[in-house]
Copies of this chain bind each other. A is one copy, B any other.
């Protein structure tokens, strides 16, 4: 493995190396065996240096032009692509995710970086606003007021385990925080340290080749919680982004709120992603839905935060046939290896503890008992089970879902009303049913960040309109999204200038509009100069 010989398995502190703190290794979840080399956790001193570097890089990096930030983001993508074979090989060993999936994830990660590059190069995202002066206004003259988004400061990003590339070291949080003009300190996920190191070095190379100050990026290793806790508490840090468990996400929220200077904490904590099958859809597309559902809840071994974990199905003529078809597909599902042994153990325990009928199970896990390989499972329950036991609406991470039968529209609406916040809700409906169920759509709109019609929630498009968010407990802050270009606004704040002349204003706010960006001038969206 190239990794061991070429790169030091320590934290990246700006352009320097971290110390050799407590040692840990990545594990191969398919075999349960440790992967070479040993990695070393960051020390308190490493964290302090990373924070100091980030703080001193901020004034410079925050003033970088959109064009230069865009070039930097593109260089990160290129460096990742150059290292892709090694990254994919290592990530496959560390996560058991198949190479094709990891290849796709490299593509997604790099496309994401380039989408943010386009966004900041173009510049309209800053929502520059100009309200012109009116010296003749009565009773008081009106001053000129000009505002735009500005970066917050150094951001702590926690790599996620389930997307070792797209939601990890160079994932959406890092891309959007850097795009907004903030230095980033990543806490690498200990389940894929080698992958993190390779990607971290790619970012470091891009920082260097872009001539940027070294504090723009650092990455800290730790297989415990201490480094993450101290990172969130550090006064230099101005916001936190996390994707992971509810326990982890809420712990960070509490830390962020309890600081002497409280800071925003964006925790994306997953969700059950309920699917509502309407009668007409079941009548017309039962087979396709059985296949679609099985494909969606077992995709990536059921480790997507958008995995459909609860399916509402009408009790009607075609239901038994649909259930039979779905069961058959689940029974035919091969065993799958989860990201870590700990996740596999939690999955097995949660599935065993689920107090409703197991309708079908996939192939049994073969091989070493030390592996993280598990079998898929399908549960079935009645409306009253769900009404009495909201545990059924709790996420189990892994390839399992529960189908709940409903008798009538009233029960369906009651389930929707009882939902907590989720990332997504999916409607399987015949188009002719949409008007009839507009009240259901209305309820779901208040519960989730994304409503999906006649598709499946897994697979999150990276685009301008995507909302990967949702009310608590799906996320810490349902106002925002962690995927798509709107994710950039998590890491900005508004600043305005009163009565400043062009010469002292940022280019984005000059009357002449030298960047040609779209702005809000006296209430009108325009690329024209202001008066």
Name A's B-contacting residues (CB within 8 A): 58-59, 62-63, 104, 124, 129-131, 139-140, 142-143, 145-147, 150, 152-153, 253-254, 257, 261-264, 431, 434-435, 438, 441-443, 445-446, 448-455, 459, 461, 463-467, 469, 471-473, 476-481, 486, 492-501, 503-504, 518, 520, 522-523, 525
Chain B residues within 8 Å of A139, by CB: 104
Q: Is there an interface contact between A479 and B492, defined as CB atoms closer than 8 Å?
A: yes
Q: Is there an interface contact between A434 and B264, defined as CB atoms closer than 8 Å?
A: no
Q: Is there an interface contact between A63 and B496, defined as CB atoms closer than 8 Å?
A: no
Please name the residue on chain B nearest to A435 by beta carbon: B503
Q: Is there an interface contact between A499 and B147, defined as CB atoms closer than 8 Å?
A: no
Nearest CB of chain B from residue A35's CB, rounded to whole Å: 30
Q: A445-B495, A455-B143 are in contact. Are A464 and B262 (CB under 8 A)?
A: no
Scoring A139, A253, A263, A450 by chain B CB atoms within 10 A of each residue's CB, the highest score goes to A450
Chain B residues within 8 Å of A253, by CB: 257, 262
Nearest CB of chain B from residue A428's CB, rounded to whole Å: 11
Chain B residues within 8 Å of A500, by CB: 451, 453
Please report the C-alpha to C-alpha distance between residue A450 and residue B431 in the assembled complex, in whole angstroms: 50
Please report the C-alpha to C-alpha distance between residue A58 and residue B417 in the assembled complex, in whole angstroms: 13
Please report the C-alpha to C-alpha distance between residue A494 and residue B490 in the assembled complex, in whole angstroms: 12
Q: Is there an interface contact between B445 and A150, defined as CB atoms closer than 8 Å?
A: yes
Please report the C-alpha to C-alpha distance between residue A446 and residue B503 in the assembled complex, in whole angstroms: 19
Chain B residues within 8 Å of A453, by CB: 497-501, 504
Please report the C-alpha to C-alpha distance between residue A264 and residue B266 in the assembled complex, in whole angstroms: 12
Nearest CB of chain B from residue A487's CB, rounded to whole Å: 10
Chain B residues within 8 Å of A469, by CB: 493-494
Chain B residues within 8 Å of A63, by CB: 442
Please report the C-alpha to C-alpha distance between residue A522 and residue B257 in the assembled complex, in whole angstroms: 37
Besides A145-B465, A450-B498, A467-B495, 7 new A-B residue pairs in contact (Cβ under 8 A), listed by A number? A104-B139, A124-B525, A129-B465, A131-B466, A140-B459, A150-B445, A451-B496
Q: Is there an interface contact between A523 and B143, defined as CB atoms closer than 8 Å?
A: no
Chain B residues within 8 Å of A518, by CB: 525
Chain B residues within 8 Å of A59, by CB: 442-443, 446
Please report the C-alpha to C-alpha distance between residue A136 and residue B145 in the assembled complex, in whole angstroms: 46
Chain B residues within 8 Å of A501, by CB: 431, 434, 453
Nearest CB of chain B from residue A161's CB, rounded to whole Å: 24
4 smallest CB-CB distances across A and B, nearest first, come from A129-B465, A257-B257, A467-B496, A147-B465
Q: A504-B434, A504-B441 are in contact. Are A463 and B145 (CB under 8 A)?
A: yes
Chain B residues within 8 Å of A58, by CB: 446
Q: Is there an interface contact between A499 and B454, defined as CB atoms closer than 8 Å?
A: yes
Q: Is there an interface contact between B438 and A504, defined as CB atoms closer than 8 Å?
A: yes
Please report the C-alpha to C-alpha distance between residue A103 and residue B476 in the assembled complex, in whole angstroms: 42
Q: Is there an interface contact between A449 and B496, defined as CB atoms closer than 8 Å?
A: yes
Chain B residues within 8 Å of A480, by CB: 493-494
Please report the C-alpha to C-alpha distance between residue A459 and residue B449 in the assembled complex, in whole angstroms: 38
Please name the residue on chain B nearest to A100 by beta carbon: B139
- Residue from B131, B441, B466 in contact with A463 in the complex, judged by beta carbons closer than 8 Å: B131
Chain B residues within 8 Å of A449, by CB: 493-496
Please report the C-alpha to C-alpha distance between residue A451 and residue B449 in the assembled complex, in whole angstroms: 35
Q: Is there an interface contact between A147 and B493, defined as CB atoms closer than 8 Å?
A: no
Please report the C-alpha to C-alpha distance between residue A47 and residue B254 in the assembled complex, in whole angstroms: 28
Q: Is there an interface contact between B130 and A498, defined as CB atoms closer than 8 Å?
A: no
Nearest CB of chain B from residue A160's CB, rounded to whole Å: 21
Nearest CB of chain B from residue A267's CB, rounded to whole Å: 10
Scoring A257, A486, A493, A522 by chain B CB atoms within 10 A of each residue's CB, the highest score goes to A493
Please report the C-alpha to C-alpha distance between residue A434 and residue B497 in the assembled complex, in whole angstroms: 13
Please name the residue on chain B nearest to A471 by beta carbon: B493
Q: A140-B459, A445-B150, A481-B494 are in contact. Are A262 and B499 (CB under 8 A)?
A: no
